[in-house]
Structures are given as C-alpha cells and as structure tokens.
Amino acid sequence: MTLSKTVLLAGIFMLTACSHSSSLNTANEIQEMSVPVVHEQNSAAANNRDVTSCYKDNAQRLSKLQFSLKSDLGEDVQPSEIFDTHSDAHRVYVALSKLEQISAMNETYHKEGNVAGLKAINEMLKPVNVAA
C-alpha cells in the first residue's frame, strides 16, 4: 500500500472516531439535562408570535439533535447493545428518550401558550452542539 493510501485511511479512521466521540459527548450532555417544568402565571397575555417562534426554534433544534444522534448511531445496532448500560448505543438511546421528553414538553408549552416554558427549553438547548 502506498504512503498516500495509508495517510488517507488513517485520516478517515480519525474523522470517524472524532465524529463518534462528538456524538457521545452530545449524548452525555443531553442525558445530564433535566426537563424544565415551568408554570406560567399569566399565559393569557402571551404574544402568539413569540410562542410560535420559540416553539418552532425549539422543535428545529430538537429535530437536528435527534437526526444527528440517530445518524451517528448507525443502522447495525443489536438489541443487546441497547440494553447494555455500558454501551455507546445505550447512551444514545437514553439521550434520544430525553429529547422525546423535552419535545413533549415543547408541545405542551406551545398548546398552553407558555412562553416562559418555551424559553426555558430554548436556553437549555442552546449550549448543546449538534455533532457534525
């Protein structure tokens, strides 16, 4: 094998490892989040435009995070890996479950017109980077 092929293969392996590591870091960040429960006192005064804007922003962030985690996990995950608490697949599935919980709260806050709840979710999601 020539030197250029060796360097190319080494680069591909490093990029794959970095992407996988980044995905696990994202999964760990998500696992550590607590789903914000915010009871807004005066939801009748909420601006409908603010509610919709914040809701859509949250939904888009959640969707990107879910897609990124699912893409990095791959198609060939065995059921035993999901239930093995020490596996990477388990960590990703736990993070995906947390994102589903957050998404459900996003829907609830949207229906209630709870801007404070939507903003709490937005602030919580801001520091989480989507694995590239």
In tens, the pLDDT along 14-28 reads 444 444 556 677 887
The residues near 69 (Cβ < 8 Å, ≥ 6 apart) are 23, 26, 27, 92, 95, 96, 99, 131
The enclosing H or E element of 27 equals helix 3-32
- Domain membership of residue 61 (yes or no) is yes
Amino acid code (one letter) for 100:
E
Give the confidence band of 2 by pLDDT, cuts at 50, 70, 90.
Answer: low
Task: Confirm whether 78 is domain-assigned.
Answer: yes
Average pLDDT value for residue range 93-106: 94
Q: Has residue 130 been placed in a domain?
A: no
**Is 132 domain-assigned?**
no
Range of the domain at 17: 3-125
| Any domain includes 107 | yes
**pLDDT, tens digit (0-9, with 9 covering 90-100), for 63-78:** 999 999 888 777 778 8
Please state the rounded mean pLDDT for residues 72-87.
82
Q: Judge whether residue 40 has pLDDT over 70.
A: yes
Whole-number pLDDT of residue 14: 45
pLDDT at position 122 is 94
Residue 69, domain member (yes or no): yes
Does the structure show a pLDDT above 50 at 108? yes
Residue 62 lies in a domain: yes
Please give the tally of structural domains in the chain: 1
- Tokens matching residue 62: 């959640």
